[in-house]
Amino acid sequence: MIAEFRLPDLGEGLAEAEVVQWLVAPGDAVALNQTLAEVETAKAVVELPSPYEGTVTNLHAEAGETVAVGAPLISFDVAGEDESAPEQDTGAQPEKAQPNLVGYGAAPASSGRPARRARRAGVTRATADTAVLEAAPHDAVPSATVERVVERPRSTPPVRAHAKRLGIDLVLVAAEIEDRVITRHDVDAYAERVGATRSADAADPETRATTDALPVFAPTADGIGRRETRIPIRGVRKHTAAAMVQSAFTAPHVTVFHTVDVTATMDLLSRLRDDRALAGQKIGPLAVIAKVVCLALSRTPGLNARWDEQAGEIVHFDYVDLGIAAATDRGLIVPNIRNAEALSLTQLSGALKELAETARAGKTSPAELAGGTFSISNIGVFGVDAGTPILPPGQSGILAVGAVRRQPWEYRGEIALRHVMTLSLSFDHRLVDGAEGARFLKDVADVLEEPGRAMLFG
């Protein structure tokens, strides 16, 4: 029988997703829960598992194409009814076509884990990237006439995208390294050796993040064209733009600034780095600020709240899901640290490190991006002192943290060189009065100026 798999709701009611790449092709035999494709929603790159065991008969979308939730994605030839696979409704109700696959696939009928199928990846001139093969020296590609059966090369989505921009076949890279995950360094080393182009790395970060940017020539009055690059607006960039416009025109933003002497905090961090009990734990200023923010929110609950227009209510949260703005190749994302108020300083430091590594690898899940009650944006990492951050939709406050600079400052009646930082707080004036916003900012600044004041917070 032919079974059709439709694009499921990948969480948060997202209406569509873009096919980043297919990991199967028509004629391939697939196992239950085997990864079929990588798709990019407005929030994250997600791997889609197969709800069937069978043979792929048709791919209903090309890589780079945007597919609506509920639309046909892939068809299988299934031997018969599989009670372990979800029932498909091929009628006019696409929303009932299959269950939400956020939980990553149907449960297998047997207790054994389905084996990962080795994919045929013959290293021949017919199957490998011909442009790379022609450019490579004869000893660059192992045995061009011998076909080998290997697993699909293991790598992360950003590495696969980087390899695609350079025209590198990851099968060829995998043949030259040990049995491990392929890194960006491996791809670059191979590209340098075979002479593949590296022009993509020299481009603007926005252009690097998009593989299908179109160069065009715009005519001018004197008849001489000037080069432009047009980049489709989609994925995270599209979602971020819509969210920021919605936030800017629905919530009345107010931004207040405060410059504070953080020398005592920097001294504290220096002592913590030298503490043998904390060996191996790199606690930075952002972890301290995250901890101080959680303490200050307990004293100003209006900044840890949401304006529910539809219900006509103000919702106060008794927990802090702390959003941390992260700049990635795909655009700005704000993953959350759940229940941050319950974490110690060292736990927050570890959570921040894990969050950053996951975001850079493009592995942040939709669930990690959902919700959030208050956010921090570390603009200081770019050398910026202050700004007016826009509220993430559904939140009433966001704190921008500026760069720490050593500069002349009044200290105990004299001028001395001190570590100074500017804090920028934006808040929703429907929920937060100016006095409450100023009190929160002063609480944060007081603890950064003298960390011992945290002992006074109830």
In angstroms and rounded to an integer, the radius of gyration of the C-alpha atoms of the chain is 26
Tell me, yes or no, if 239 is annotated catalytic.
no
DSSP 373: S
Let me know if the fold of 2-77 is the same as that of 253-456. Answer: no
Residue 87 has pLDDT above 90, yes or no: no
For the cut 80, the answer to whether the pLDDT of residue 52 exceeds it is yes
Decide: 117 and 143 in contact? Cβ < 8 Å.
no
Which of the four pLDDT bands, split at 50, 70 and 90, describes residue 443? Answer: very high
What band does 17 get if pLDDT is binned at 50, 70 and 90?
Answer: confident
Q: Smallest Cα–Cα separation from 394: which of 244, 293, 290, 256?
A: 244
Domain formed by 253-456, architecture = 2-Layer Sandwich (3.30)
Give residue 248's pLDDT. 72
Q: Does residue 141 register a pLDDT over 60?
A: no
Averaged over 320-328, what is the pLDDT?
A: 92
Fold of the 2-77 domain: OB fold (Dihydrolipoamide Acetyltransferase, E2P) (2.40.50)
Q: Assess whether pLDDT exceeds 60 at residue 123.
A: no
Residue-wise pLDDT for 258-282, tens only, equals: 999 999 999 999 999 999 888 888 8
Q: Is the Cβ–Cβ distance between 418 and 406 less than 8 Å?
A: yes
Is the predicted pLDDT of residue 450 greater than 50, yes or no? yes
Q: Where are the domains of the chain?
A: 2-77, 157-194, 253-456
Q: Which residues of 230-251 are buried (b: 16+ CB within 10 A; e: fewer)?
A: eeeeebbbbbbeebeeebeeeb
Q: How much is the pLDDT for 374? A: 97
Say yes or no to pLDDT of 139 above 80: no
Among candidate residues 60, 253, 258, 429, the one labeled active-site is 429
Question: Is 291 a residue whose pLDDT tops 90?
Answer: yes
Q: What is the pTM of this model?
A: 0.57
The pLDDT score that the predictor gives to residue 152 is 64
Over range 389-402, report the average pLDDT.
93
Of 404 and 90, which is predicted with more confidence?
404
Long-range contacts made by residues 165-171, C-beta under 8 angstroms, separation at least 24? 165/200, 165/208, 165/211, 166/191, 166/196, 166/197, 166/198, 166/200, 167/129, 167/131, 167/132, 167/196, 167/197, 168/129, 168/132, 168/196, 169/128, 169/129, 169/132, 171/121, 171/123, 171/127, 171/128
Bigger pLDDT: 368 vs 447: 447
Q: What is the pLDDT of residue 225?
A: 57
Encode pLDDT of 175-233 as tens digits. Answer: 777 677 788 888 888 887 766 544 444 344 433 444 455 555 555 555 555 677 777 76
271 vs 105, more confident: 271
